[in-house]
Structure 1
Amino acid sequence: MANPASSEAYVRFDGVQKSYDGVNLVVKDLNVDIPRGEFLTMLGPSGSGKTTSLMMLAGFETATHGDIFLNGRSINNVAPHKRGIGMVFQNYALFPHMTVAENLAFPLQVRKMGKAEVEEKVQRALDMVELGEFGNRRPAQLSGGQQQRVAVARALVFEPDLVLMDEPLGALDKNLREQMQYEIKHIHDRLGVTVVYVTHDQSEALTMSNRIAVFEDGRIQQLAPPTELYEKPENAFVAQFIGENNKLSGKVDALADGICEVVLDSGERVKALDINTDGAGTATTLSLRPERVFLNPAEGQCQNVFSGKAEEVIYLGDHIRVRMNVCGHDDFIVKVPNSSDKKGLAEGDTIPVGWSIDDCRALDA
């Protein structure tokens, strides 16, 4: 096995597996390196293995197989409280009988810090989350968003190099949640601390992360920066899970120079990038983002042009969402910017729709 200290990885999962019953693996052969200072999000549906992976890193679960390294040292047999990791949970986990300042002081007192140093660090952590005046309040006297900020401050107060966050914004309403996403992102940018974050909310992951690991069925399906995950999904699961996506099924008919011609189930022929197919004669799923589809495309603008019928036109302010019947699919979505030339579109209209080869990806079936 390679010496983990020789690489750039600050956190390393090396061949990690987890089974609760000795038969079924919840996490299957997890290999991932996280450099110091990165904000990595583990994203996936319920039961995909993301939270179990985080809990193994925290020490609350034990790996059935493989090693977890922190700063070049295996921590498989290190107790959770000796790993020096900050944790933030969805339910805040604040002590209700303590003031906010006492909650923050607790992890410092456990580390036997002097009174003056404790007071200074507590005040600095409160100021960081803009709650400098709230030290004497009890958690029950704070709003949900304020309590969550206290939880973030408590995870950072002892200046850990690594902070783990498990669905920390799940209990907040939409506006507060979005505001907290930016706050946590800005704190990360400012402190340069390494963050491993778990969520099932894709927009949260796209907003905050340097890289995202998309989990499904105990494995990482793709690990990449947000733009790459969205623009270049490697398989059909990632394409469907990240953002909105039009899915067209068919068979690969011909292949040349990284481009394939696919015959759709409805008979039309589409040209697409050959990303993850099994070659000519095999089934494939085409992935196409709604904002990459053009209505009434100009001559020569798109290599794929078909007739589409507008089934539903929804005005959403900054853009118009059109559900169309295209190539036998009546759930084909087109998003068009809200500009003056799109005002005339109405339900029942039949118009040409088109997209380029570069925006259409042929993936696994």
Structure 2
Amino acid sequence: MSDANDRYVSFQDVQKTYDGENLVVKGFNLDIKKGEFVTMLGPSGSGKTTCLMMLAGFETPTHGEIFINGSAVNRIAPHKRNIGMMFQNYALFPHMTIAENLAYPLQVRKLSRADIEEKVKRALDMVELSGFEQRRPKQLSGGQQQRVALARALVFEPTLVLMDEPLGALDKQLREQMQYEIKHIHERLGVTVVYVTHDQGEALTMSDRIAVFNNGVVQQLDTPQGLYERPMNSFVADFIGENNVLFGEVERYENGRCILRVNGEPVVATAVTEQAPGSKVIVSIRPERVVLDTQGNGHENHFVGQVVERIYHGDHIRVRVGLLGQGQFILKLPNNAANSGLKEGDSVQVAWSSNDARALDIVQ
């Protein structure tokens, strides 16, 4: 746990069950600093949205306590928590103009007309929708409606904003554009954001830290780079980005390295945990860390494989290679002259460093 002064939001041993038997959130602990952008990431049913709803006040923890700025909030009504909310379905009032939609949370807080007008104007400027005040939601595109929803979540200047899959309904190009817009607005305002998504690319792009959920338990809490480069178990390695998996048997450990056998061949990987000799482990290697290398060039792992499939992606070439008895080993190679001539059936020299391979949890 971090120092108390570092905790703006704090979940302390929080659990949640709906039927009294099955826990959808199990012993959840998380401290979030003021101004931090933290994403709860995981598959459907993993517990991430339930945690967000408990923080918002729409669900009550079965056990444990949630704190905002040092105050316990379990028994505080949602509208008294001063939290901005942004959802996937926008939740805009269709009969109101854009200005009226933004003014509504300010009217509830009984601000003066002059203050409301000023804050609405500032919020629309922030999301680049000045001049849209008198339009209604149905007159806007999906992306514009999402910007209005963002402006409404921020118009009353909350110190904490919760976002639940807010970009899920947008097309790919617009979703990526909105990711950057939300990230830049967060950086400019310094507001604390708790974001929920099942999209790992979205989480990597936007977050300061990411909590990866599975079956109600946080598997790893880390920076985007930490999760991608240093996954602590096979679930995180598979869920965050594309991942090559080799199944092997531990031979021995030396200086933080695991030497194992994969289909009879020695493979060297960074040891994440130490298992008894003979134990089954998973080795994780990212496709972009694998190279074609006829000389070896210092790579501890160097094997002969055969090209099974070659797919052109413009900025890179995706190559599937049969290797070490496994036919699903992927390389992402630069689209350059050296790799342009690769074709199915070619024999290739495949290499990677032990620093880029991680020996993870036991295969059950």
TM-score (norm 1): 0.97
Does 2:6 align with 1:8?
Answer: yes
User: Counterpart in 1 of 2:286?
Assistant: 289
2:65 aligned partner: 67
Question: Which residues in structure 2 correspond to 1:36-47 (within 5 Å)?
Answer: 36-47=34-45
How much has 1:263 moved relative to structure 2? 1.2
1:251 maps to which residue? 249
Q: Is the 8 A contact 2:296 2:302 kept in 1?
A: no
Give the Cα separation in 1 of the matches to 2:29 and 2:237.
22
Q: Which of these residues, 312, 323, 326, is aligned with residue 323 of structure 2? A: 326
Which secondary structure does the structure 2 equivalent of 1:342 belong to? coil
Match of 1:88 among 76, 86, 92: 86
* Structure 2: gaps of 5 or more residues: none
Instruction: Trace 1:294-309 onto structure 2 (pairs within 5 A).
Output: 294-309=291-306
Q: Secondary structure at the match of 1:127?
A: helix
Distance (Å, rounded) in 2 between the aligned partners of 1:146 and 1:297: 52
Query: Does 1:21 pair with 2:45?
Result: no
Residue of structure 1 equivalent to 2:126: 128
2:96 is aligned to 98
Letter in 2 for 1:252: V
Aligned-residue offset at 1:251 = 1.2
User: Using a 3 Å threshold, how does the CA distance of structure 1 residues 90 and 292 change in structure 2: closer, same or farther?
Assistant: same
1:90 and 1:168 in contact (8 A); partners too: yes
Partner Cα distance (2:184, 2:253) in 1: 46
Q: Which amino acid in structure 1 is aligned with residue 285 of structure 2?
A: L
Query: 1:155-197, CA deviations, whole angstroms, 9 ceiling, x for partnerless residues?
Result: 0000000000000000000000000000000100100000000
Q: 1:54 aligns with which of 46, 52, 58?
A: 52
Q: Which residue of 2 aligns with 1:214?
A: 212
**2:8 is paired with a residue of what secondary structure?**
strand
Task: Kindly provide the amino acid, as one letter, of the partner of residue 206 in structure 1.
Answer: L
Distance 2:146 2:235 in 1: 32
Q: From 240, 243, 265, give the equivalent of 1:242.
A: 240
Instruction: Output one character per residue of 1:209-266: Cα deviation in whole Å (capped at 9) or x when no partner.
Output: 01111101101111111111100001100000001000001111111221111112x2
1:170 alignment partner AA? G
Give deviations 1:38-88, integer Å, cap 9, x for gaps: 000100000000000000000000000000000001000000000000000
Structure 2 counterpart of 1:341, one-letter code: A
Instruction: After superposition, give the CA deviation of every residue in 1:316-360 in whole Å (9 maximum; x if it has no partner).
Output: 111110011011111110011112111121110011101111111
The 8 Å contact of residues 255 and 279 in structure 1, kept in 2 or not, is answered as no
Amino acid at match of 1:361: R
Aligned partners of 2:352, 2:340: CA distance in 1, in Å? Answer: 21
Q: Hey, what's the Cα distance between the residues in 1 that align with 2:295 and 2:107?
A: 68
Q: Which residue of 2 aligns with 1:186?
A: 184
What TM-score results when the alignment is normalised by the length of structure 2? 0.98
Please list every run of 5 or more consecutive structure 1 residues that lacks an aligned counterpart in the other structure.
none
Aligned mates of 1:338, 1:203 — CA distance in 2 = 22
**Structure 1 Cα separation of the partners of residues 294 and 149 of structure 2:** 51
Three-state SS of the structure 1 residue aligned to 2:12 is strand
CA distance in 1, matches of 2:29, 2:96: 40
Give the CA deviation at 1:277: 4.1
Match of 2:346 in 1: 349
What is aligned with 2:149? 151
Give, in whole Å, the separation in 2 of the partners of 1:25 and 1:267: 42
2:283 is the alignment partner of 1:312: no
**Tell me, what secondary structure is at the counterpart of 1:107?**
helix
Partner of residue 232, structure 1: 230
Task: Give the letter for the 1:50 counterpart.
Answer: K
Out of 333, 342, 350, the residue aligned to residue 336 of structure 1 is: 333
Instruction: Please report the RMSD computed on the Cα atoms of aligned residues, expressed in angstroms.
Output: 1.2
Counterpart residue identity of residue 219, structure 2: Q
- Given that residues 303 and 355 in structure 1 are in contact (C-alpha distance below 8 angstroms), is that contact kept between their aligned partners in structure 2? yes
Equivalent residue runs for 1:160-175 within 5 Å: 160-175=158-173
- Cα deviation for residue 296 of structure 1 reads 2.3
- AA aligned to 1:143 is S
Cα shift at 1:267: 1.7
How many residues were matched structurally? Answer: 362
Q: Judge conservation of contact 1:19–1:25 (CA < 8 Å) in 2.
A: yes
- Distance in 2 between residues matched to 1:62 and 1:286, nearest whole Å: 40
